[in-house]
Amino acid sequence: DPPGTPRMATAVTASATAATRFTRLAGIGLRRSSCRPRTAVRFQRPGLTTTALLRPTELKPKDQGQPETLDYRVFLVDGGGRKVSPWHDVPLRAGDGAFHFIVEIPKESSAKMEVATDEAYTPIKQDTKKGNLRYYPYNINWNYGLLPQTWEDPTAANADVEGALGDNDPVDVVEIGERRANIGDVLRVKPLAALAMIDEGELDWKIVAISLDDPKASLVNDVDDVEEHFPGTLTAIRDWFRDYKIPDGKPANRFGLGNKPTSK
């Protein structure tokens, strides 16, 4: 790759050693240069080229259209007002073991927002089904979104999780801090645990993390700390994602790895 070009991280396999699962999931191959405060990045594919000189702390969401309409989009813009891609242009690593996290769905909301992976600059939009806007049957209780520059490979079978294939989307994050974030916010988070959700046969990892700005961030560093300082939260996250499709007449989702959260 040319200097300064980050590689797309691929969630291919979970290691048999729990301590290395998240490192592989997040993409150990990303260049260390992506951790620098000011990072030149470039993404290309037929019909789409974006180039940006990013200061992640300056990135801000910018609305286009009216919320809860088919045309509504939330773009990410840099300090000069230029559009950048929340998926491709934001560095994954934030330094000191932290990662950047893009908020798609704020806590205590139900509109099913997601990055439009097939649109220029991959803005965040509300998902649709048969032309209708999609909503969860009840509010999600945590900030929810993605790790930039990650992708769950739909051709790679994970031997540790029933041979399930990736879901062809970025890796998901459930952020458990107390603050309700906004759509398009870029937060620095640290991973605490992971749940291996299996959705209609596809592996759909849920990385449990906390914003470094949260008052309890210094108290939690791994899965056991979550149980101590956020008792019941990991079970609540698993049950929420297991059951949210049931009101629509679909079967419950399943979880690999013994139906338990693994360490970071």
HSE-CB for 89 with a 13 A CA cutoff: 28
Distance CA 99, CA 92 (A): 6
Report the catalytic residues.
Answer: 136
Determine the Cα–Cα distance for residues 137 and 134; give it in Å rounded to an integer. Answer: 9
Helix (H) or strand (E) holding 204, with range, is strand 202-211
User: Which residues, including other chains, have CB under 8 Å from residue 79's CB and lie 6 or more apart?
Assistant: 55, 58, 59
The count of other CB atoms within 10 Å of the CB of residue 210 is 29
The single residue listed with the structure tokens 């849920």 is 206
Please state, as a whole number, how many other Cβ atoms lie within 10 Å of the Cβ of residue 254: 15
Q: Is 152 helix (H, G, I), strand (E, B) or coil?
A: strand
